[in-house]
Structure 1
Amino acid sequence: MLLVYTHKITPRLTYAFKHICTRILGIPVNFTTKVEEFIAHDSIKMSYTKQSLSSEVFVRSHELLFEQGLSDLDIHVQKWDDTKGFFSTSEKSTLPFDVFAATFYLLSRYEEYLPHVKDDYGRFTATESMAFKHDFLHQPVIDIWAYKLKTVLQKQFPEFQFPERSYTVKPIIDVPSPYDFKQKGLLRTIGGILKDVVNLKFKKLYLRFLVLFGLRHDPFDTYKYILNKQKQYNFKFQFFFLIGDYSTFDKGVSAQKKQYISLIKHVADYCHVGLKASYFALENSTILKKEKKRMESILNTSLSASRQSFSKLNLPEAYRNLVDLEIFEDYTMGYVNHLGFRAGTCTPFFFYDLDYEIQTPLKVHPYHLMDYALLKTHSQLDKKKAVNELIHEIKAVNGEFAPVFHNYTFSEIERWQGFKELFNLMLDSTYEA
């Protein structure tokens, strides 16, 4: 057990230390404000305060972990070997940056509480983030910092055995609409036909009729392929199905359709299944509660995971609603149009509510790549290069790689050509050294 001496134990401090020390490095951590207890501890230890006690591993503390609420922070991002750091310390500090305060800043999504420009869907965008502006969005900086701390501790305590964690992949399959043409109902089908005619999309119209008459597979019906892939690996895919009511933003299939219910049940036999919360459920807990109950009645079990429609997150309300409804896993933390690490980590973490100053039971599984982000890269070679670079970053810290693909990504639709190969590349990365 790592013992940390500090002048004051706060919820922020325990939160940051537990993420770095326990969730990333795998070592339990305890805290003390008593010098005698710290001196008497005969195993791995360090101090986190304003001044070192003697020659121990010492990180000079920034005020952030001892504050409450939001304040106007003066942040200077600087180069630190092959990565970046901020909240610089002093010469006597073992590390040049207060990695714990910086970790808290990134994990709590402090910057998303501050004034910022949202996109058309009301989302915090990558370009607004400090990580993007200072060119470290492509790195899981928190995990990198944790390993730097580990190196320092190993040097001071060579006899201490650190546990090793291994690189994992957690594929996320998002299903906003299970079918492109099937199960849409008479009115929507007629509307779709008329739209194809008006827009002169005769190829799509032809395909629509082939599907409706059972002569072709619906292009979005890729579940057989995905489930066959699932059977080849010993880790479970995580599916999210939209079962909210039809709206301007959500145009899926009615959750009353027997074929759709049957599909969800079938997928749940092989994979983890969660709720893709509809756009209007994001800020309306009544709608979210209705969708949760709907999914639980289909799965015949309590719902544990959700993902927000359009990857929209309004903090802290969106996460508070999940906690209130006892949904304890979220898979929305990431950027739709950019690869990288929105919260600076490739390790799942718990949501910290900055208004209430508490760690909540909601576990956030950040994703690092969405299929849409790769559409900006035109050649297949460049797409593979981008994926491999991301995998390399996560493997370097033995983290969890969470890519988000959609059911239609595996279709024969032209814009998604080559994405099956990219998906296989990600899955097979677990086999490579």
Structure 2
Amino acid sequence: MLLIYTHKLTPRVRYIFKHILTRILQIPIDFTMKVEEFVAHNGPKFSYTKVALGKEFFVKSHELLFQQGIKDIEITLSNWEGVPCFFLQGEKSDIPFDIFSASFYLISRYEEYLPHIKDKFGRFKAIESLAYKNGFLEKPVIDIWAYKFLTELKRRFPDYGYKNRSYQYISTIDVDNAYAYKYKSFVRTVGGFLKDAYQVKVFNLWDRFAVRFNIKKDPFDTFQKIINFKKEHDVRTIFFFLIGDYTSYDTNVSASKSKFKLLIKDMVDYARVGLHPSYYTMKNTEMLKKEKERLEAITNIPATRSRQHYLRFTLPDTYQKLIDLEITEDYSMGYASMAGFRASTCTPFYFYDIDFEIQTPLKVFPFAVMDTTLNDYMKLTPKRALGKIRDLKNEVKRVNGVFITLFHNESLSGYQRWRGWSRLYGSMLKIVKS
């Protein structure tokens, strides 16, 4: 057990110390605000305060973890042995910057509470982030800092029995459109035929006709392929089903269709299933609740996992709504426009609500890369996309973190804009599991 002395024990201090020392480094910790108790302790220990008590291992504290609410904080980037850092604390500290305050700033998404310009979908922009502006978006710097901190601890306390965590991989699949043509309503089918005819999309017309009359398989029906990959590579897989009512942003098959319900039930037998709340649920609790109950009625299982459609969420509002509906895991933490680590960590963490200054029961699983980011935003070829995935996976593996990818059933089809991409998912699994 590692004992930490601090002059003030706040919820922020408890939260971030537990994330770094216990969740990442596997070290049990305890706190004290009594100097005599700290001095009498014979095991590994360090102080986190403004001035060192003596010659102990000492990390000089920034004021962030002892504040409440949001304040406009000036941040100046520095360098710690080749790794970007901030909240520099001077030579008297055994660590040159306040690793705990800097980590809290990033993982709490403090900057997303501050005034910012949103994109056209109402999302926080990747280019607005501290990580992007300073070139560390594709590095899980919190985990990197933690392991460098561990090196310092081992140097000071070499006899302590340290444990190692192991690298993990999770494949997540968003089902925005279970089928390209099958099981769509009569009105949508006729509209699709007329649109393809007007735009002279001959191949689309034939595909639409052939699928509707069972001459060929629907191109987006790649579910058995994904399940086969799951079994072959022993991959933890989660499907997120969009089952909201039809809008211009929510175009999946109607959740009232028996074949669609059957598909969801089939996936429950082979993998985990979660909710993919529709576009407008970001600010609509009633709509979110209705969709959660709809999924539960289909699966007969409590819906506890969630990922927002279009990755539309605002902090802390959307997460507060999820918590109210007893969602315990969220997988939305990432950017649509860029690959990388939105919260600067590759370790699942509990959402800290700065509005109420509490650690919530909502566990956030940050993903590192999405197929549509690589194809639609970054305009990469499948070969270069695979290289990007490999680089991100290597970053995660260096710190024994959790590598999470986001794919869609559509991207395995090789159909239309996904032509040439059908083999990427299988190739990726070989890399991430190696």
Paired AA for residue 361 in structure 2: P
Paired AA for residue 234 in structure 2: N
Q: Which residue of 1 aligns with 2:309?
A: 309
Q: Which residue of 1 aligns with 2:296?
A: 296
**CA deviation map 1:61-81 (0-9, x unaligned):** 000000001111010012222
Residue pair 2:72, 2:114 contacting (<8 A) in 1 also: no
SS of 1:219's equivalent in the other structure is coil
Query: Which runs of structure 2 are paired with 1:9-48 in the superposition (5 Å)?
Result: 9-48=9-48
Residue pair 2:169, 2:433 contacting (<8 A) in 1 also: no
Residue 264 (1) aligns with residue 264 (2): yes
Residue 407 (1) aligns with residue 424 (2): no
In the aligned structure 2, how far is the partner of 1:21 from the partner of 1:104? 13
Residue pair 1:57, 1:152 contacting (<8 A) in 2 also: no
Residue pair 1:168, 1:430 contacting (<8 A) in 2 also: no
- Cα–Cα, structure 1 residues 431 and 327, in superposed 2: closer, same or farther, change >3 Å? closer
Residue 4 (1) aligns with residue 14 (2): no
Residue 281 (1) aligns with residue 281 (2): yes
**CA deviation map 1:352-377 (0-9, x unaligned):** 11111111000000011010121124
Residue 95 (1) aligns with residue 98 (2): no
Query: Which runs of structure 2 are paired with 1:11-410 in the superposition (5 Å)?
Result: 11-375=11-375, 376-410=378-412
In the aligned structure 2, how far is the partner of 1:360 from the partner of 1:189? 44
Paired AA for residue 405 in structure 1: F
Residue pair 2:350, 2:362 contacting (<8 A) in 1 also: yes
Report deviation, 1:382.
Answer: 2.0
Paired AA for residue 404 in structure 2: A
Paired AA for residue 410 in structure 1: L
The more displaced of 138-147 and 275-284 is: 275-284
SS of 1:138's equivalent in the other structure is coil
In the aligned structure 2, how far is the partner of 1:81 from the partner of 1:313? 35
Residue pair 1:5, 1:49 contacting (<8 A) in 2 also: yes
Paired AA for residue 323 in structure 1: I
In the aligned structure 2, how far is the partner of 1:377 from the partner of 1:201? 24
Report deviation, 1:189.
Answer: 0.3
The more displaced of 294-303 and 418-427 is: 418-427
The more displaced of 43-52 and 64-73 is: 43-52
| Moved beyond 4 Å, runs of 4+ | none
Report deviation, 1:401.
Answer: 0.6
Paired AA for residue 325 in structure 1: L
Report deviation, 1:190.
Answer: 0.2
In the aligned structure 1, how far is the partner of 2:167 from the partner of 2:430? 12
In the aligned structure 2, how far is the partner of 1:363 from the partner of 1:188? 38
Residue pair 2:233, 2:433 contacting (<8 A) in 1 also: no
Residue pair 2:237, 2:272 contacting (<8 A) in 1 also: yes
- Cα–Cα, structure 1 residues 226 and 151, in superposed 2: closer, same or farther, change >3 Å? same
Unaligned stretches of 5+ residues in structure 1: none
In the aligned structure 2, how far is the partner of 1:40 from the partner of 1:174? 54
Residue pair 1:348, 1:364 contacting (<8 A) in 2 also: yes
Paired AA for residue 248 in structure 1: S
**CA deviation map 1:63-110 (0-9, x unaligned):** 000000111101001222232100011211111111100111011111
Report deviation, 1:298.
Answer: 1.1
Paired AA for residue 91 in structure 1: E
Paired AA for residue 187 in structure 1: V
**CA deviation map 1:248-283 (0-9, x unaligned):** 210111111110010001011111100000112221
Paired AA for residue 15 in structure 1: Y
Paired AA for residue 145 in structure 1: W
In the aligned structure 1, how far is the partner of 2:94 from the partner of 2:352? 27
The more displaced of 418-427 and 183-192 is: 418-427
Paired AA for residue 405 in structure 2: P
SS of 2:283's equivalent in the other structure is coil
In the aligned structure 2, how far is the partner of 1:193 from the partner of 1:316? 43
Q: What percentage of aligned pairs have identical amino acids?
A: 51
In the aligned structure 2, how far is the partner of 1:218 from the partner of 1:430? 29
Paired AA for residue 105 in structure 1: Y
- Cα–Cα, structure 1 residues 429 and 35, in superposed 2: closer, same or farther, change >3 Å? farther
TM-score by length of 2: 0.97
In the aligned structure 2, how far is the partner of 1:222 from the partner of 1:430? 20
In the aligned structure 2, how far is the partner of 1:370 from the partner of 1:381? 15
SS of 2:360's equivalent in the other structure is strand
Paired AA for residue 415 in structure 1: R
SS of 1:282's equivalent in the other structure is helix
In the aligned structure 2, how far is the partner of 1:421 from the partner of 1:206? 24
Residue pair 1:337, 1:370 contacting (<8 A) in 2 also: no
In the aligned structure 1, how far is the partner of 2:215 from the partner of 2:82? 55
Q: Number of residues paired by the alignment?
A: 432
**CA deviation map 1:10-30 (0-9, x unaligned):** 001111101101110111221
